[in-house]
Amino acid sequence: MKYSLVISTSVLLSTFTTTLAAPVNPPATAVAAAAADDTDEYIVVLAPTEKRPWAQVFTDLGYNMTSRTHAISVNKHTFGTNYGDLRTFGKEVRAFTTHMKGSDAASLSSLPGVLSIEKDVKWTVKVQRFNETYGTHNLKDNKWSFPAVKRQQDQMNQVVQQSTAPWNLGRISTAQPLVSNGREVIDLKFNYQFERSSGIGIDVYMLDSGINTQHVDFGGRAKMVFTAFGNDITDGHGHGTHTAGTVGSTTFGVAKNVNLLGVKVLDAQNQGSLSSFVAGVDFAVSSHMQRRSQPGFKGSIINMSLGGPGFSQPLFQALQRATQAGMHVAVAGGNDNTDSCQFSPAQFSQLLPIINVGASNVVDQRWEHSNYGKCIDIHAPGDGIVSTSNKGPQAMEPMSGTSMACPAVAGAMAVELLKNPNLDPAGLKQLILSKALNGVLQGVSGGNLLLNNGLRAIG
């Protein structure tokens, strides 16, 4: 049974108002109309100055805590601490989710200690299987083997060429359009030039459907660190394994030495709740803060190949905290062939130093389903992208979407961050955009940038 407020709104107002400090930012006004008074799940974000224990906060809110089980164990597989049907977030965000009526949500939103209240909506992340007749293939037929990185300083910037790369890697390391020369878009016959160091020591948090960590192409560098689904750390969809492969797998990855950290916020249907996304970002920030003092740490990146319609205040606040903590963020522009500014987190690129990515195809056109507009910072290859699959330890398959373009940018960010460790998120964003090819894409209005690593190979 879902928990609800046990005292009247008037009592709650008088109690809560006197115990919470004023918020840094004004509370969000977009809550359910009290007239409808439907019961729904909400995310309640408190002011950053609120530091009291959760039990005290909930007591002042008017929740009956005596009949509830207080601390269910918190570990890497949990969402937070549960108080009955209340569910809190982690260390970096003072927030919780609960079932309540629209009138209660409207009342809570006016309290000086509440930063924002928003319905906990569920988003489905769209992705296209490139060709269902292609199926999945195994890596055993691919002869490429990336030589192990040697950490001697004189080899860190050595350039390596891979001749068995997917087309997206070939395109981002050449200034010229790709010429087919008999190659199909899903062939692993393209040339990719990259630096041997290639993101070593960089942590990339993959907010997605999970990672098939047993895939041989990850070379033991991928692990699951968080899930919003109980103890389920599997990738039931394949979206997360695919995006992780484009960031940093041996064959398909832009940055072939990064640490791939799976943050599971999408289920087997590629669906996830807004609260899970916020909790995933919150976990990544907490982990980043801990990792900064550990040996070998070089920086943190968040890849978010996900999103949904409208402006989400809790998700904006979470990503704002991430960038303020020095984390670098790449987000997918969306696959609805419409204005990317209508979606979160894509539209945050106008307010935060994050990179919003649109998708292009193999002939340098905007991919037909890619979102567009002023909120798109850069494009990257996203149509018919071959990468790692969840279907086995050697499986690979092609997918299409801005979800496939976004991790290419995250990988490029990892490469540049290793060479420029002192860059803040705004500085790294500017560097990535400055190295891009300008004006080469067809069907793009406004900013016309295509991701490039500056090595200028022959694709």
Which residue numbers are catalytic? 208, 239, 403
Three-state DSSP at 142 gives coil
| 72's tokens | 């269910």
Closest CA to 212 of 387, 75, 383, 331: 387
* Contact between residue 283 and residue 225 where contact means Cβ atoms under 8 Å apart: yes
Q: Which of 261, 317, 322 is nearest to 286 (CA)?
A: 322
Alpha carbon distance 194, 453 (integer Å): 8
Residue type, 46: L
Integer Cα distance of 308 and 348 in angstroms: 12
Structure tokens at 5: 């407020």
CB burial readout 132-142, b (16+ within 10 A) else e = eeeeebebeeb
Residue linked to tokens 């400055």: 434
Whether residue 250 contacts residue 57, with contact meaning beta carbons closer than 8 Å, is answered with: no
How many Å separate Cα 288 from the centre of its chain? 14
Query: In Å, how far from its chain's centre is CA 76?
Result: 18
Q: Under a CB-based contact definition with an 8 Å cutoff, are residues 164 and 385 in contact?
A: no
Over the Cα atoms of the chain, what is R_g?
Answer: 22
Task: Give dist(CA 97, CA 43) in Å, integer.
Answer: 4
Neighbours of 171 (CB within 10 A): 26
Do 69 and 298 form a contact (C-beta atoms < 8 A)?
no
Q: How far apart are CA 455 and CA 449, in angstroms?
A: 16
At position 92, the amino acid (one-letter code) is E
- Sign of torsion, CA 262 268 270 275? negative
Q: If DSSP codes are grouped into helix, strand and coil, which group holds residue 98?
A: strand
- 217 sits in which H/E element: none
| Torsional class of 270: left (φ above 0), alpha (ψ -120 to 50), beta (otherwise) | left
Question: What amino acid is encoded at 442 in this protein?
Answer: Q
Would you say how long the chain is, in residues?
459
Interstrand relation of 343-344 and 378-381 (parallel, antiparallel or unpaired): unpaired
